[in-house]
Structure 1
Amino acid sequence: MDWLERAAKLRQWNRNGTRAPHKPLLFLYALGRYQRDADGELRYSAVEQDLKGLLAEYGPPNRTTPAYPFHHLESDGVWEVRTDRGPGSPGSAVRELRATGAAGRLAPDLRAALRRDPALLGRLARILLDLSFPPSLHTELCESVGLELEPADTVLLSPIRRQRDPSMRERVLTAYEYQCAFCGYDGSLGAVPVGLEAAHVRWWAFDGPDDVDNGLCLCSLHHRLFDKGVLGIGDSHDVLVSERFVGRSPAAREHVTALAGRPLIGPRPGARPVAEAHRSWHAKQVFRDGPRPATAA
């Protein structure tokens, strides 16, 4: 059985680029718990708050419930659910999952495969991360679910995985003249830029192309905040700051809150700005709630 292919082809709602990472998040959480206790079960009532937190942090902006993946992941053959009544999920209703003592864990065949090949766990995790989340969030997401991974395995799943274009970074940084489009940071060590990254506006995991008009040159801080939905791009190509962001320190105000309403820096004349389709995808699928009012100059 090809467990990597199963992980890559989890059945998820995926219409018009809609993000639905519920199953990958639960799967990653289960892998993290498996590392600590290979025989343990995840009782829904005990892990519900953890899963709610993951969905709030890494899921789509709209509200959702962890009961959905807890029930539906069973249909992908990688997860099993038992209740006080016996094997099988009682459904996706929160009340039923709680009342019946529903508990889930990785499917028996998958647990057996992981015992035979411990390195499989890391490869599964990297497939789930790569196909549902941008690289800027991988490390902190692993920490959030308690996963400890070895250095990245090279896993070729063609035609499941597209290959990234390694030239995108240089093309995007050149288009933005090696400065962060949000704050203008332009640090370098000698002739080498440091702390500058090429961010996908529409995530590569959701068919975002490796094109300049789907990229932004961002400093490391603002890249992370952009992928978390704290920052976004407005209709006038200005910086949006989520009204949910709270930062009381002078540093938070200077580096985040004060960006609200500022025009993007770049790209240079002749380079393509962020395409409306990609900006719209980020606004709907990543940016959190409404924007804060523009900050007075």
Structure 2
Amino acid sequence: MDWLERTAKLRQWSRSGTRAPHKPLLFLYALGRFQQDADGELRYSAVEDDLRRLLAEYGPPNKTTPAYPFHHLVSDGVWEVRTDRGPGSPGSGVRELREIGAAGRLTPELRAALRREPSLLGRMARVLLDLNFPPSLHGDLCEAVGLELEPTETEQFSAVRRRRDPRMREQVLTAYEYQCAFCGYDGRIGTVPVGLEAAHVRWWAFGGPDDIDNGLCLCSLHHKLFDKGVLGIGDSHRILVSQRFVGHSPAAREHVIALAGRPLIGPQPGARPVAAVHRSWHTSQVFHGSPRPAPAA
């Protein structure tokens, strides 16, 4: 059985680029727990809060419940559920999963495969990360689910037909003249820029092209906040800051809250600015909550 292919083809609800990472998040969480305790199972009532936090932080902006993937991941052949009444999931209702002691774990066949070939776990995790999340979130997400991956476990699944264009970073940084489009940071060591990254506006994992009009030159801080949905891009290419962001320090006010309503530092003349279609995808699928009003002058 090709477990990598099965991992890559998890059946997810999809419609015109809508994010639905419920199953990948539960699967990553289950792999992390298997790494810690290969014989353990995940009782829904015990892990519900963990899964809810994962969905809130790494899932789409709309409200959702961890009961949905806990039940539906069974259909992908990698997960099984039993209750106090016997094998089989009672459905995707939170109440049912809680009240009759639903517990899930990886299927016996997958657990056996992971024991035979320990490196398989890291390769499966990479598939889930690469196909569902931007690279800026991979490290934090692994930490959140308790996954420890070896540095060598970076190979991409062979059935992923698309390949990232290695030229994009240089093209985007050049277009934005090596400065963060949000704050203007332009640090270098000698002639080498440091702390500057090319961010995809529409995530590569969701069909975002490696084009300049889908890219922003951002400093490391603002790239992470952009991918987490704290920051966004509104009409007239002005910066959005989520009302859900809380920061009381002068640094938080200066580097995040004060950005609300500011115009982006755009690309140089002749370079295409971020396309409206990519901006609207990020606003609907990544940006969290309502934008803050611009600070009073």
Report the TM-score range of the alignment, normalised by the length of the smaller protein. over 0.9
The CA distance in 1 between the partners of 2:51 and 2:161, in whole Å, is 27
Q: Are 1:6 and 2:6 an aligned pair?
A: yes
Which AA in structure 2 matches 1:50? Answer: D
Q: Are 1:155 and 2:155 an aligned pair?
A: yes
Q: How far apart are residue 43 of structure 1 and its match? A: 0.1
Match of 1:184 in 2: 184
The CA distance in 2 between the partners of 1:152 and 1:128, in whole Å, is 16
Alignment partner of 2:236: what SS?
A: coil
Match of 2:128 in 1: 128
Q: TM-score scaled by structure 2?
A: 0.99
For residues 245-293 of structure 1, the C-alpha deviation after alignment (integer angstroms, 9 at most, x for no partner) is 0000000000000000110002111100000000000000000011000
Q: How far apart are residue 152 of structure 1 and its match? A: 4.0
The CA distance in 2 between the partners of 1:274 and 1:192, in whole Å, is 25
Which AA in structure 2 matches 1:54? Answer: L
Match of 2:258 in 1: 258
Q: Are 1:248 and 2:268 an aligned pair?
A: no
Match of 1:271 in 2: 271
Identify if the C-alpha distance between structure 1 residues 142 and 154 changes in structure 2 by more than 3 Å, giving closer, same or farther: closer
Q: Are 1:293 and 2:293 an aligned pair?
A: yes
Q: How far apart are residue 156 of structure 1 and its match? A: 4.7
Which AA in structure 2 matches 1:279? Answer: R
Match of 1:226 in 2: 226
Q: Mind listing any 5+ residue stretches in structure 1 that lack a counterpart?
A: none
1:229–1:288: 8 Å Cα contact kept in structure 2? yes
The CA distance in 1 between the partners of 2:227 and 2:156, in whole Å, is 25
For residues 105-164 of structure 1, the C-alpha deviation after alignment (integer angstroms, 9 at most, x for no partner) is 001100000000000000000000000000000000000000000014353534434100
Alignment partner of 1:236: what SS?
A: helix
Which AA in structure 2 matches 1:157? Answer: F
Mapping of residues 97-112 of structure 1, within 5 Å: 97-112=97-112
Runs of 4+ in 1 over 6 A off after TM superposition: none
Alignment partner of 1:104: what SS?
A: strand
Match of 1:214 in 2: 214
My pick for the range that moved more, 147-156 or 127-136, is 147-156
The CA distance in 1 between the partners of 2:195 and 2:154, in whole Å, is 25
Paired residue total:
297
For residues 157-179 of structure 1, the C-alpha deviation after alignment (integer angstroms, 9 at most, x for no partner) is 34434100000000000000000
Q: TM-score scaled by structure 1?
A: 0.99
Q: How far apart are residue 295 of structure 1 and its match? A: 1.8
The percent identity for this pair of structures is 82
CA RMSD between the two structures: 0.8
Match of 1:60 in 2: 60
